[in-house]
């Protein structure tokens, strides 16, 4: 909402290195004139080409005449921040801008849409946002329907264990254990899911039925099953969160199981 005619400054920035979360590279900037209106959209057409994947910051200069709408939806890898202006913080971090995460993201859309949350993210080797979100996000849950993701091999494989890594809101700030946090569970974490495997004869069998899950990592033993596909059928997330979100699915071979059993036996001998 724009309460009075005004002009705001917007900037696009990136970071110099993939593991550096500081917007220290300016890509594009512009001043935009806005007329008073209760509901208006700001359309940006940056005349730049971004060659490599990575984090992008949209920085909007604060203006008391302008309010930004927020979205009820949260998206992995999208964080809304505002400067934290406190004298005691600046005393300890002189010359450094301190950012405080907001609970809701600024409402925005991209054209064309970006394919950031596809199923291939579940097997790209990353278990958290790094350069890209690296998370599979399903369509919104519909009443009476489930969302699913499937991994399939070119030939049957003998599997010892299947690990599913759920989203546990890694963007949630946990500054210190002495701070009281309201959430006893992470909304984004999958609550109810079934894990099925397709045997070499083509039939499907359920090997895991998880209810009321609160954990980031879900482990399902297969104990040397020979399978050609695994499917995670997601029924619900905690607190009625609208999507299923999974960072990765790992299937460990029977050789890994032999190694685990060897470790267990060696520990028993030590005792």
pLDDT in tens, 147-178: 999 999 999 999 999 999 999 987 666 666 55
- C-beta of residue 193 within 8 angstroms of C-beta of residue 212: no
The structure tokens listed for 223 are 């104990």
As a whole-number percent, the residues of the chain with pLDDT over 70 amount to 86
Decide if pLDDT at 270 tops 60: no
Calculate mean pLDDT across residues 218-238. 92
The strand pairing partners of 221, in sequence order, are: 161
Residues 31-59 have pLDDT tens digits of: 999 999 988 888 999 988 888 778 889 99
- C-beta of residue 171 within 8 angstroms of C-beta of residue 186: no
Burial status of residue 222 (CB atoms within 10 A of its CB: 0-12, 13-18, 19 or more): buried
DSSP state string for 47-72: -----S---EEEEE---TTB---EES
Lowest-pLDDT range of 1-10, 14-23, 54-63, 96-105: 96-105
pLDDT value at residue 94: 54
pLDDT value at residue 176: 60
- Write down the mean pLDDT value for the chain: 86
Q: Which of 129-138, 145-154, 218-227 has the highest mean pLDDT?
A: 145-154
Among 124, 126, 161, 153, smallest CA distance to 253 is for: 161
Length of the chain: 271
Q: What is the location of CATH 2.60.120.260 in the chain?
A: 119-257
Confidence label for 255 from pLDDT (cuts 50, 70 and 90): confident
Decide if pLDDT at 181 tops 60: no
The strand pairing partners of 30, in sequence order, are: 10
In degrees rounded to 5, what are phi and psi of residue 90? -65, -25
- Domain 119-257 is found in CATH 2.60.120.260: yes
Decide if pLDDT at 116 tops 80: yes
Q: Which of 8-12, 167-171, 178-182, 259-263 has the highest mean pLDDT?
A: 8-12
Q: Where are the beta strands (DSSP E) in 183-262?
A: 190-199, 204-210, 217-237, 245-253
Decide if pLDDT at 93 tops 80: no
| Separation of alpha carbons 72 and 239, rounded Å | 14
> What SS3 state is found at 238?
helix
Decide if pLDDT at 263 tops 80: no
pLDDT value at residue 180: 59
265/87: higher pLDDT: 265
Characterise 66 by phi-psi region: left (phi > 0), alpha (psi -120 to 50), beta (else). beta
pLDDT value at residue 104: 79
| Separation of alpha carbons 199 and 226, rounded Å | 6
């Amino acid at each position: 909402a724009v309460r009075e005619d005004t002009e705001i400054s917007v900037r696009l920035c990136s970071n110099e290195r993939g593991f550096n979360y500081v917007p220290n590279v300016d890509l594009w900037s512009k001043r935009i004139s806005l007329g008073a209106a209760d509901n208006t959209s700001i359309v940006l057409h940056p005349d730049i080409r971004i060659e490599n994947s990575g984090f992008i910051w949209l920085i909007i200069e604060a203006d008391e005449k302008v309010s930004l709408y927020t979205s009820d939806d949260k998206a992995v890898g999208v964080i809304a921040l505002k400067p934290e202006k406190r004298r005691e913080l600046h005393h300890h971090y002189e010359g450094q801008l301190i950012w405080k995460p907001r609970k809701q993201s600024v409402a925005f859309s991209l054209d064309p849409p970006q394919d950031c949350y596809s199923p291939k993210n579940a097997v790209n080797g990353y278990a958290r946002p790094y350069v890209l979100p690296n998370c599979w996000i399903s369509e919104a849950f519909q009443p009476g329907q489930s969302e699913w993701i499937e991994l399939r091999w070119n030939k049957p494989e003998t599997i010892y264990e299947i690990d599913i890594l759920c989203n546990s809101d890694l963007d949630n700030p946990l500054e210190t254990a002495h701070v009281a946090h309201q959430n006893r569970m992470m909304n984004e974490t999958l609550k109810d899911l079934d894990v099925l495997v397709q045997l070499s004869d083509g039939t499907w069998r359920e090997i895991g039925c998880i209810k009321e899950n609160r954990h980031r990592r879900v482990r399902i033993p297969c104990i040397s099953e020979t399978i050609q596909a695994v499917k995670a059928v997601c029924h619900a997330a905690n607190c009625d969160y609208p999507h299923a979100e999974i960072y990765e699915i790992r299937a460990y071979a029977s050789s890994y199981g032999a190694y685990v059993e060897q470790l267990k036996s060696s520990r028993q001998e030590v005792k």
